[in-house]
């Protein structure tokens, strides 16, 4: 079975500062990786995904993530956050041998004015 670990449950950061949200996974097979964002009282929206190819993936709203196979990580970064980035962020993994997504427990990002 796969598992996803988001090490930080809450991350406070000042406006215009950089941020990194960490995600590690465990899998013995090839993986596909995703980051989703959830704004209050809404469903999840895809930020970016890694299926194959370049390990640096760019997504919406200025976010990017880097797939590191040796460290089994897929950390999400943004060089300068805005108040509107305050939300819950979920990392997810799937594999080419299964039918399921596995989600991390989420990281609550709070941007402080």
Partner 1 sequence: DAGITQSPRHKVTETGTPVTLRCHQTENHRYMYWYRQDPGHGLRLIHYSYGVKDTDKGEVSDGYSVSRSKTEDFLLTLESATSSQTSVYFCAISEYRNNEQFFGPGTRLTVL
* Contact residues for partner 1, defined by CB under 8 A: 6, 32, 34, 36, 41-46, 49, 51, 90, 94-96, 98-101, 103-106
Residue placing its CB nearer to partner 1 in the complex, 73 or 108? 108
Q: How far apart are CA 35 and CA 56, in angstroms?
A: 13
DSSP letter assigned to residue 12? E
CB atoms within 10 A of CB 97: 10
For partner 1, the closer of residues 86 and 101 by Cβ is 101
- Cβ-count burial of 19 within 10 angstroms (0-12 exposed, 13-18 middle, 19+ buried)? buried
Q: How far is the CB of 46 from partner 1 (least distance, A)?
A: 6
CB 55, min distance to partner 1, A? 18
Nearer to partner 1, 40 or 113 (CB): 40
């Amino acid at each position: 079975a796969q598992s996803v670990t988001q090490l930080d449950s809450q991350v406070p950061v000042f406006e215009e500062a950089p941020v990194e949200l960490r995600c590690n996974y465990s899998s013995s097979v090839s993986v596909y990786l995703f980051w989703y964002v959830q704004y209050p009282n809404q469903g999840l929206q895809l930020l970016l995904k890694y299926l194959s190819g370049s390990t640096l993936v760019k997504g919406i709203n200025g976010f990017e993530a880097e797939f590191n196979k040796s460290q089994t990580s897929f950390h999400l970064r943004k060089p300068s956050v805005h108040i509107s980035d305050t939300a819950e962020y979920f990392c997810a993994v799937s594999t080419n041998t299964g039918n399921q997504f596995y989600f991390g427990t989420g990281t609550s990002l709070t941007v402080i004015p």
